[in-house]
Amino acid sequence: MAIIPNIIFAILLALGVGFFAKNVKKLLRNIKLGKDVDVSDNTSQRWKNMAMIALGQSKLVRRPISGFLHVVVYVGFIIINIEVLEIIIDGLFGTHRIGLNVLPSAVYGFLIGTFEVLAVLVFIAVVVFWLRRNTLKIARFWKSEMTVWPKNDGNYILYFEMVLMALFLIMNATDVHFQELNSGNIISQYIAPAFSSLSVSTLHLIERGAWWLHIAGILVFLNYLYYSKHLHILLAFPNTYYGSVKPQGEFNNLAAVTKEVKMMMDPNVDPFAAAPEGSEDDVPEKFGASDVQDLNWVQLLNAYTCTECGRCTSECPANQTGKKLSPRKIMMDTRDRLEEVGKNIDANKGVFTDDGKQLLGDYITNEELWACTSCNACVEACPVSIDPLSIILDMRRYLVMEQSAAPVELNNMMSNIENNGAPWPYNQMDRLNWKDE
Amino acid sequence: MSELLKVPTMAEYTAQGKQPEVLFWVGCSGSFDDRAKKITKAFVKLLNKAKVEFAVLGTEESCTGDPAKRAGNEFLFQMQAVTNIEVLNAYQVKKIVTACPHCFNTIKNEYPELGGNYEVMHHTQFLKTLLDEGRLTIEGGKYKGKRITFHDPCYLGRANNVYEAPRDLIRKLEAELVEMKNCKRNGLCCGAGGAQMFKDAEKGDKEVNIERTEQALDVKPQIVAAGCPFCNTMMTDGVKAKEKESDVQVMDIAELIANAQDL
Ligand code: SF4
Ligand code: SF4
C-alpha cells in the first residue's frame, strides 16, 4: 500500500504535463496560422540576441528598479526549480530527499541553503511588485487596455509565487530530519520554532501537505501559463531569437509587389501572358493584413510572447499625447483574435469557419493605425524583442492597397508623388530651382 | 550669394566623362521646402568649401517613396524605388550623401533588395569624415559657448544607430551640448514620421511636436539642433507655438557649421 502515493503522484504529474503538452500543441498550431517568413539568416546574431535579451535580460534592466526586481524573481525562480527535480524523483520512487543520498551533505546543504535565500528574495521582490502594481498607480499599468483580466492576471501570478515560496520554506521548516541535520536550513531554522509546540506526527503532516501543495502548485502554474501573459517565461527565448536582426528603420519590401512592379517596368514582359500553370499567380495575393492569418508567424509569436508590461506604450509618442494608439493593445488584440480564431478552428473540426469578425475593425481601429509615426520607440522599449510597428504597417498596407481607405490628406500626398515625384504639388522640373534662388 | 554655389549635376559630370566623388541626394524637402532649402544650401557651401567633387541628380531625382511606404502604399514606394534605382545605376553611383534621414534610411536599407546598392551617408556622418580627413575645419565662431541641444531624428538614431556623428560636430563648435530627458535611443519623435507630416494628427490631448519642444525647452537651450528637415519644421513650429522664437533657434547642424564660418 505504500506505493499508492507514488501512483497518485505519477498520475498527477502525467496529467499536469499532458495537459500542458496539449496546450503547447495548440499554441504551435495557432502560431503556424501565420504566413511563412525567412528567418534562417544571421544565426550567430540571433543566438547572441537570445542570450543577451532573454537570458541576460539586457533590455529589462534599462528600467533599473523593475529590471532588478525582475532579475531577482527570474533567477530565483529558475534556480529554485532545480528542487523540483528532487521532488519529482522522490514522488515517483517514494524516496525522501534523494539528494541527501547522492550528494555529500555539505553540498546538499549548500544547494538547499541557496534555494532558501533565493526563496526569501523572490518573496520580497514579488511583494514589492504587488505594491508597485496596485498601490503606486504606475501609469502603464492603468491604461485603458488593462481591463479586468489583464489586471487580475498580473496579480494572480504574484500570489502564486508568494504561495509557492512560502510552501517551500514551510516544507523545510517542518522537516524534522532536515532541521536536525542543520545544514542548508539558513532561513527555515528561524521558521521552525513557530511549529515547535506541535507533535512530530503533526509536523510530518504539515511537511507532507506543503510538499504535495508545492508540486501541485507548480503543475497548476505550468498550465496557467497558456492562459496568461506569463507565457513569456517560455516564449521570450524563441521570440528574441526570431526577432528582427535588421536596422529598425528597414521595413520589409513586399515580394508580391516587387513582382508586379518589375513586370510593369520591364518592356520585355508581356503583361497579358498567362501565368504558368500551378504558379502562385493562380491565387490573387492579398496585400497587407486585415486578420491574424495575414500576419507572419513571427508576428503571431510576438503576440503570444507579450508580457503586457506596457513599456512600449509608455514610450509611444502618440499614446503620450492622448491618441488612442497603444502598441501594447495592438499586441494584446492580435493575441486575443488569434485565440478566438484558434477556438473557432477547434469548434469546427479543424477548419476555420468565417465568424464575420476580423482583427481590423473588430479589434484594432483605423484611428489607432493612422496615429503611428513609425518612430520605433515601442520596438526599442520592448524587453522581449516584439515589433508592434510591423503589424501596424501591415494593416495600413491593407487599408491603402486593398481598400483605398487612407485619410484624404495622405491620398493627396500619394497622388503628388505619383504625378510629380514629390509629396507636394511641385513640378519635378523645378527640383533644382533652389540653386538660383 | 547664390552665384557662389557650385551645384553640378550628374548629367554634366557624365557629359565630361567624369565621375563625382559622391552624389548629393537633395530630397523633396531639401528641394522644395523653403526652410529646408536653406539647409541644402548650407550643406552645399560646406561641400564647396571642402572642395568635394559632388553632383546632384537635379530634375532626374524623384521622391524616394518613404512617405508612401510608411503610409502603407507599397506599390507606389516600389515604383519610386525602381525608377530611382534605374537612374542611379545608369550613372554608376557608388556613394550617396543626404541631409534627410528618411531618404538616408530608405536608400540605405530598403533599396538594396530592389537592386540599388550604394554606400549611403547622412550629411552629419559625411561632414564628420571631411573633418577627420582634414578637408574641412570647424570653428566655434558665433556658437562658441552657446547652449545647444540635439534632437535625434528617429530615422537616423533608433532606426540606424547614428547618435555620435551629429554630437561630435556640435562639440567641435565649442558649444555646450546639453541632452534632453529623452535622447539617443530613447529620443522622442517630433511627430512627423510615418507620413504624419502630411496629415492632421488623430484626436488626442496634445501635438507630438509640442511635447518634444517642451522637453527641449526644459534644458534651456539657445539653439535646438536638428538633423532632419521634417524635424526642423516640427520643432520650429513647436518653438513658435510656445512663443519662444526670439530666444530659441532651430537650426540644422550643417547650417550651424556653415554660419560659424560665415559662409
Ligand atoms: S512606432 Fe508607432 S506605435 Fe510604436 S511607439 Fe512609435 S508611434 Fe507608437
Ligand atoms: S510589446 Fe513588449 S513592451 Fe509592449 S507590452 Fe508587450 S512585452 Fe511589453
- The domain of B94 spans 2-130
Residue A263 has pLDDT above 90, yes or no: no
Inter-axis angle of helices A232-242 and A297-305, nearest 10: 150
Contact A391/B at CB under 8 A: no
Whether residue B170 sits in one domain with residue B101: no
**Pairing assessment for the beta strands B147-150 and B223-226 based on DSSP bridges:** parallel
B250: CATH? 3.40.50
Say yes or no: B80 and B158 in one domain: no
Predicted interface score ipTM higher than 0.90: yes
* Tens digit of each residue's pLDDT (9 = 90 or more) over A277-290: 545 555 567 899 99
- Using DSSP's 3-state secondary structure scheme, residue B147 falls into strand
Contact call for A431 and B71, based on CB within 8 A:
no
Rounded to the nearest integer, the mean pLDDT of chain A is 92
Question: What pLDDT score does B261 carry?
Answer: 86
CA nearest to A389, candidates A295, A308, A320, A255: A295
Last residue in a domain, options B113, B130, B147: B130
Please tell me the residue having the least CA distance from ligand 2 atom 2: A382
Q: What distance, in Å, lies between the first and last C-alpha atoms of chain B?
A: 9
Q: Compute, in angstroms, the gap from residue B204 CA to the centroid of ligand 1.
A: 15
User: For a pLDDT cut of 70, what percent of chain B falls above it?
Assistant: 99
pLDDT digits 0-9 by tens, A212-256: 999 999 999 999 999 999 999 999 999 999 999 999 999 999 998
Q: Domain boundary at B68, B99, B130, which?
A: B130
pLDDT band at A5 (very low <50, low <70, confident <90, very high): confident
Per-residue confidence (pLDDT) for residue B2, from 0 to 100: 45
B153 in the same domain as B64 = no
- The answer to whether the Cα torsion of B48, B225, A372, A58 is positive or negative is positive
Domain A255-427 CATH class label? mainly alpha
Grid coordinates of A131:
505594491
pLDDT at B187 over 90: yes
- At position A158, the amino acid (one-letter code) is L
Q: What is the pLDDT of residues A363-416, one digit of tens each?
A: 999 999 999 999 999 999 999 999 999 999 999 999 999 999 999 999 999 999
Pairing state between β B22-25 and B54-55: parallel
pLDDT tens digits for B217-245?
Answer: 999 999 999 999 999 999 999 999 999 99
Q: What local confidence, expressed as pLDDT, does residue A276 receive? A: 52
CA contacts within 13 A on the Cβ side of A314: 13
Last residue of a domain, one of B130, B162, B194: B130
Quote the ligand 2 centre to A312 CA distance (angstroms). Answer: 6
Q: What is the pLDDT of residues A117-134, one digit of tens each?
A: 999 999 999 999 999 999
Residue with CA nearest ligand 1 atom 7? A372
Query: Into how many domains does chain B fold?
Result: 2
Residues of B in contact with A419 (CB under 8 A): none
Shared-domain flag, residues B95 and B51: yes
Record the cell numbers describing residue A246, joined without a space: 535588421
Grid cell in block for residue A205: 503532516
pLDDT for A264: 83
Q: What is the reported pLDDT for B1? A: 46
CA atoms within 13 A on the CB side of B109: 23
* Beta-bridge mates of residue B150: B225
Contact B63 A426 (CB under 8 A): no
Of A322, A380, A432, the CB nearest to B206: A322
Q: Are residues B8 and B126 in the same domain?
A: yes
pLDDT of residue B143 exceeding 70: yes
SS3 content of chain B, % helix, strand, coil (to 5): 50, 10, 40
**Pairwise CA distance, residues A155 & A148, whole Å:** 11
pLDDT band at A265 (very low <50, low <70, confident <90, very high): confident
| Nearest atom of ligand 1 to the alpha carbon of A316 | 5
Q: Are residues B124 and B199 in the same domain?
A: no
CATH 1.10.540 fits A4-242, yes or no: no
pLDDT at A270: 62
Question: Do residues B148 and B57 share a domain?
Answer: no
Q: Do A400 and B114 touch (CB under 8 A)?
A: no
- What residues have CB less than 8 Å from B152, skipping those under 6 apart? B158, B163, B183, B184, B187, B227
pTM: 0.93
Are B213 and B120 within one domain?
A: no
Residues of A whose CB is below 8 A from B204: 318, 321-323, 371
The DSSP bridge pattern shows strands B119-122 and B147-150 to be unpaired
